[in-house]
Amino acid sequence: MLGSGGPLCPNLQELRLNIDTLEVSDAHLVASLLSPSLRSITLYASINPLYESNDTGELTACAILDALRFRNANISHLSYEGYTSSRIIARIMDFSNLNSLSIPSCLTKTEKDYKTIIASFLETRSLTTLEINLGGYPNDVLYQLGKWFEALVSLTSLNLRGPLRSIHHCIRDLNPITSISSFGLSQDLTIHHPKGQTVHLVPLFAAIFPNLHTLHLENNNDTLPKMVTLDDLMSFRQRPLQALDLINCLKSTKLANDIVEILRVLPTLERLWIEGGKVSARYILPIISSSAPSLQDLTLPLRSPGVSDGSAVNEVVCPLRCLSAPSFKNIADTRSHVRNIIKLFPSLTTLSKRTREEGESVTVNVDMSRYRSED
């Protein structure tokens, strides 16, 4: 590779590197992969709180980013997971055409780094997509980060990770940001919050992002408090919401009733993805078939794939094309279940199994035309 005299893959556009096993002196070993054609790069290095400030992963990442700049790579998307020091951020922000940035985990080593990091952030306003972990930042830096979001005039997609307390402090005083159409929040394990602090967070999103089309809310651990109530979601009643993802966010005691109410007050939803709890397919699917005029993509924690004969539904109004559930692993082997589901959703093209717990999303290829021809 090193003797090739040029990039090993001269047309390579996307590269993902786990740099855990690389020493700084070994960074040159990936040089033949750093083609000028690269547009997207992901660097992953494990975070160990016991590391000294000269963490190997961070320095290796710096060396690779320097090599990219030396080769004039026109990077538009960059994802970095590891220690987020001022050295890393300065190099990231040095890519002038960067429009998508992801820093899903953040741990700085010294407090003096914070001001330098925020200064580097404030130098760019061209981002359209941003994912950032707010855990660990002091309150004054969180406030400045929020003001940076306001200054990102091209920003359309924002995803925030970390403790709810940090996220709340960052965005609570923001003016409405009309450019953002997609917002995501992922609550991390780092802190357990008082009950009162989670109640008004979701309505805050409706006020800050008035043109929101996509809302993704995720609770990373069942031991954390649920961040969403049905009353919270009523804040989006008059909004053009098209996609709603609620991952371990709703209480499971009245999940079926909550789903029905969500679809009633948000008739523009084209995608609904709910995980956590269980709901009866026999009960919920016929209701959705006759009451969701825009829904095309549905993921639910169905208790079982079994549904009754769909011919009993008064009127099918749902144009559903994709239906996913953890219980669909072997549904293709159950003809009656598939035929009944097709009667409920005549436009259905895909049945799939989707389970984040197992870290997979497996599509079950069902020949819908075969089942329809049998009727």
Which range among 137-141, 156-160, 296-300, 321-325 shows the weakest confidence by mean pLDDT?
Answer: 137-141
pLDDT band at 90 (very low <50, low <70, confident <90, very high): confident
Longest dimension (CA), the chain: 71
Percent of the chain with pLDDT over 70: 80
304 falls within a domain? yes
- Per the structure, the complete domain to which residue 294 belongs is given by 280-375
- Per-residue pLDDT at 276: 87
For the chain, the helix, strand and coil percentages under 3-state DSSP, each to the nearest 5: 35, 20, 45
> Residue 36: what residue type?
P
164 falls within a domain? no
Cα–Cα dist 245/185, whole Å: 10
- Per-residue pLDDT at 107: 63
Return the closest-CA partner of residue 65 out of 52, 46, 84.
84
291 falls within a domain? yes
pLDDT in tens, 21-33: 888 888 878 888 8
299 falls within a domain? yes
Phi, psi torsion values for 326, nearest 5 degrees: -60, -25
- Per-residue pLDDT at 24: 83
290 falls within a domain? yes
Percent of the chain with pLDDT over 90: 36
Query: How many domains does one find in the chain?
Result: 1
pLDDT in tens, 190-223: 544 444 344 468 889 999 999 999 999 998 766 6
Q: Does 3 have pLDDT greater than 60?
A: no
260 falls within a domain? no
pLDDT in tens, 313-365: 668 899 999 998 887 766 655 677 788 888 899 999 888 876 554 445 555 55
pLDDT in tens, 35-84: 888 999 999 887 765 444 446 788 889 999 998 888 888 999 999 988 77
318 falls within a domain? yes
208 falls within a domain? no
> Residue 223: what residue type?
T
